[in-house]
Amino acid sequence: MKILNRVALVAMLLSVASAFPAAAADAPMTHYVLDPAKSSLEFNFLQAGAQNKGRFRHFTVAFDFSPDNLAASHLEVTVDVPSLDTGDQERDDTLKDADLFSAKKFPQAVFRAQQIVKTATGYEAVGKLTIRDITRDLRVPFTFRTAPEGAMTAGYMAGKTALKRLDYGVGQGEWKATDQVSNDVSVAFALRLTPH
């Protein structure tokens, strides 16, 4: 009788444990797209010892997300490189030129994250960033919250990360030197996302 009771207990525990992955897999997934009018994607860099800021005016975001099903959540950001804007036309033209972003030849930069992980302060998108046809692994920490707005619930994503421009070939010829333009670039984003 004791053996039968133990077998029954083990079977019950196994059935309960197997129910958890199934529940997570069935968690509803929300597909979010960007609200460009209320979103920003900015970058900062040092030039001749002075801090400079720029932004990309045009980019898209596709975010499939469920906090209860992170394994199936993923993020894709596509940036229109020619839309970069530093507030200085001469500098913008230089950045778009062949030795830096080469915006005509490589008009898009893309970040794809097939893995979203929970962290102590929010989440992290684990994926690959491609600039100038060079792809590198990248981890992007971010926070995400939702808020009801009328008949829908909007999502708000914010975060920042650091890049080295030379890792992506953004600096050919004389621009490979880092004495005038730093190798380090910080990227910050604040996105309003709508369910679609």
Angle formed at CA 176 by CA 174 and CA 178, multiple of 5 degrees: 105
Q: Is residue 144 part of a domain?
A: yes
Beta-carbon neighbour count of residue 182 at 10 Å?
A: 17
Q: Is residue 94 part of a domain?
A: yes
Beta-carbon neighbour count of residue 196 at 10 Å?
A: 11
User: Is 102 within 8 Å of 80 (Cβ atoms)?
Assistant: no
Query: Which pLDDT value is given to residue 49?
Result: 87
Q: Is residue 115 part of a domain?
A: yes
Number of domain units in the chain = 1
**Alpha-carbon torsion angle 141, 47, 93, 41, nearest 10:** 20
Q: Is residue 17 part of a domain?
A: no
Give the domain range for residue 39: 24-195
Query: Which pLDDT value is given to residue 28?
Result: 87
User: Is 193 within 8 Å of 157 (Cβ atoms)?
Assistant: yes
Beta-carbon neighbour count of residue 75 at 10 Å?
A: 23
Q: Is residue 126 part of a domain?
A: yes
Q: Per the structure block, which two tokens stand in for 185?
A: 């670039």
Q: Which residue has the tokens 């830096």?
A: 100
CATH number of the domain within which 29 lies: 2.40.128.110
Bridge partners, 52 (sequence order): 45
In sequence order, which residues have a C-beta less than 8 Å from that of residue 31 and are 6 or more positions away?
62, 63, 64, 195, 196
- 137-166 as b/e, with b when 16 or more CB fall inside 10 Å? ebebebebebeeeeeeebbebbbebebebb
User: Is 189 within 8 Å of 159 (Cβ atoms)?
Assistant: yes
Mean pLDDT in each 10-residue stretch from start to end of the chain (196 residues)? 49 47 66 98 93 97 97 97 97 97 98 98 98 98 95 95 98 94 97 96
User: Model-level pTM greater than 0.75?
Assistant: yes
Q: Is residue 75 part of a domain?
A: yes
Give the separation between CA 79 and CA 99, rounded to whole angstroms.
19
Q: Is residue 13 part of a domain?
A: no
Q: Is residue 163 part of a domain?
A: yes
Query: Which pLDDT value is given to residue 8?
Result: 53
Query: Which pLDDT value is given to residue 54?
Result: 97
User: Is 55 within 8 Å of 43 (Cβ atoms)?
Assistant: yes
Query: Which pLDDT value is given to residue 1?
Result: 46
